Every structure is written in structure tokens, then in C-alpha cells.
């Protein structure tokens, strides 16, 4: 199917690996001119042919600098994918263990980065009748399923998508959200990531945690989600063929969330 994206322009954040990298790759395959934002430029990202911008979006000046660089490179922005997220520190900490600085760091990366990049890019997106896709998490619907600061920030991001769709949908900008479950990325597979920290807390090898995780969280597919699967959904939502999909929040979690 022709997704009618050839010669469109896109800005993708958190683009150096995982879901973000997969989104960049698939958009480029569709003929999109992509500006890819990441704190560090990787060989995999450079190989996509996207225009890479090294930027820390938790830096107050980062979002404005990024969008200015994107506009200078591609002229106008048709598509924005707010994918940057994650966090540092002890991801297994409980509510009483999250200090103010940790809350700020998590919200800066998982919520305010999207707020600021979107604010900077919206004038161009309005001119282009563009589309925004925010990458949230199924943890936004079940906040107790993960670190409280992270799932709360993602819940805020999901709510932001609904509010933006309501305000800017009449101006021609479609805003939607994609909420993945456990994806095969460094967040889960790295010893330094959430998966590694959780495995150490439980006293089991990381590979055992990952092997049992799908059943433990109720994923009907019996496996982790591949980044390419999430990217395929994101790219479809970017397409003009999805012109009537506005303000939606799509779960892609292998059936882990059972409620409607």
C-alpha cells in the first residue's frame, strides 16, 4: 500500500536506537526526508540517510535549537514523532524513594521534551496540516505496572495528546498516541536498564526475567514486541490515509491490557 508519504518531512526524537531508530528507517523507506534527533549519533542512525541532530532535549535550549535546525534543513515539518523517553537512576524505586530531582529528570525527558518540541514545531505543522505521534506506554493506563515517576509522566503525555488533538484538530493537525508494552530495546535488555535493575532486585538472571516477562504481564503473543512493529503503527498514523484518526491512543502490547 502506498502510504502517500513520499517527499513529506519528519522530525523524530530519541532516534538513535530502539523504536526511534526503527521509525526513522521506515519513514526513510517511504520517501520521507527525516530529521533525527538524539543525544548521541550512532552508526546505525547515520546509515539511514536521515539528517542527524545531536541534542539533549532535557536542556532548556535543546527543543528550540532542534526545531530551528530541522526547519533549516527541510523547510517545513509535516510530521513530528515525539519518541524520546526513558530515564536514569534506580527504575525500581518506590514512591518514597523518588526525590524531587528524580521526578524532574523523568518528567523533563518523558513529558516536557514533547511539550517543548511540539510547541516549537506547531506553527510549521499547522501550515502543513501535519501530524504528530507521541510514544507513550501501556503503563500510562496501569500506572502501578512500572516506576511511578515514569508511568505518571507517560500518563501525562497521553493526556497531552488528547488535549492537543482537541485544540489543533480543527486547524488541520492530527495528534495521536502509540502506547507500547515491553519492547525488545535496551530499556529491557540492558543490564543497566530497567530490565537489568528489576532482575537484580528479584535476584534472577536478566535472561530469565525476559523469558518469563510476556507470560507474567499477560501478553497473549508470548514474546516481547519488536521495535519495527511499533514503528509500522507509527508510520501508518503519519500517513494521509489515516486522515480521520485523531486523538486516538493505540495500544501495542501483545494483549497485556485487558480492559476496553
Question: Which residues are catalytic, by number?
Answer: 150
Angle between helices 206-216 and 194-202 (to 10 degrees): 100
**How does strand 131-135 pair with strand 79-82?**
parallel
Whole-angstrom distance, CA of residue 129 vs CA of residue 184: 33
H and E: helices and strands count for the chain: 10, 7
DSSP, res 17: S
In this structure, the number of other CB atoms found within 10 A of the CB of residue 119 comes to 12
Q: Grid coordinates in use for 154? A: 507517560
Q: Grid coordinates in use for 80? A: 513530528
Whole-angstrom distance, CA of residue 131 vs CA of residue 84: 17
Enumerate the H helices of 30-147 as residue ranges.
Answer: 43-47, 62-74, 100-107, 113-128
Whole-angstrom distance, CA of residue 121 vs CA of residue 57: 14
Q: Grid coordinates in use for 2? A: 502506498
Instruction: Give the closest residue to 106 by CA, choosing from 118, 93, 117, 119.
Output: 93
Amino acid at each position: 500500500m502506498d502510504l502517500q508519504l513520499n517527499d513529506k518531512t519528519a522530525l523524530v526524537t530519541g532516534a538513535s536506537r530502539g523504536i526511534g531508530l526503527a521509525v526513522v528507517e521506515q519513514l526513510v523507506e517511504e520517501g520521507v526526508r527525516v530529521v533525527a534527533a538524539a543525544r548521541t549519533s550512532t552508526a546505525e542512525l547515520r546509515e539511514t540517510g536521515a539528517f542527524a541532530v545531536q541534542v539533549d532535549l532535557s536542556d532548556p535550549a535543546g527543543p528550540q535549537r532542534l526545531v530551528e535546525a530541522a526547519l533549516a534543513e527541510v523547510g517545513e515539518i509535516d510530521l513530528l514523532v515525539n519518541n524520546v523517553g526513558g530515564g536514569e537512576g534506580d527504575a525500581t524505586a518506590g514512591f518514597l524513594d523518588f526525590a524531587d530531582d528524580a521526578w524532574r529528570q523523568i518528567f523533563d525527558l518523558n513529558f516536557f521534551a514533547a511539550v517543548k518540541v511540539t510547541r516549537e514545531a506547531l506553527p510549521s505543522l499547522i501550515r502543513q496540516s501535519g501530524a504528530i505521534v507521541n510514544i507513550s506506554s501501556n503503563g500510562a493506563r496501569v500506572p502501578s505496572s512500572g516506576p511511578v515517576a515514569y508511568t505518571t509522566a507517560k500518563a501525562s503525555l497521553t493526556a497531552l495528546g488528547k488535549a492537543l488533538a482537541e485544540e489543533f484538530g480543527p486547524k488541520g493537525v492530527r495528534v495521536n498516541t502509540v502506547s507500547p508494552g515491553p519492547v525488545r530495546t535496551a530499556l529491557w535488555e540492558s543490564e543497566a536498564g530497567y530490565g537489568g535493575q528489576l532482575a537484580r532486585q528479584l535476584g534472577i538472571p536478566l535472561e530469565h526475567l525476559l523469558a518469563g516477562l510476556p507470560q507474567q504481564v499477560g501478553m497473549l503473543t508470548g514474546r516481547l514486541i519488536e521495535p519495527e512493529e511499533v514503528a509500522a503503527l507509527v508510520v501508518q498514523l503519519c500517513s494521509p490515509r489515516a486522515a480521520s484518526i485523531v486523538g486516538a491512543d493505540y495500544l501495542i502490547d501483545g494483549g497485556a491490557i485487558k480492559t476496553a
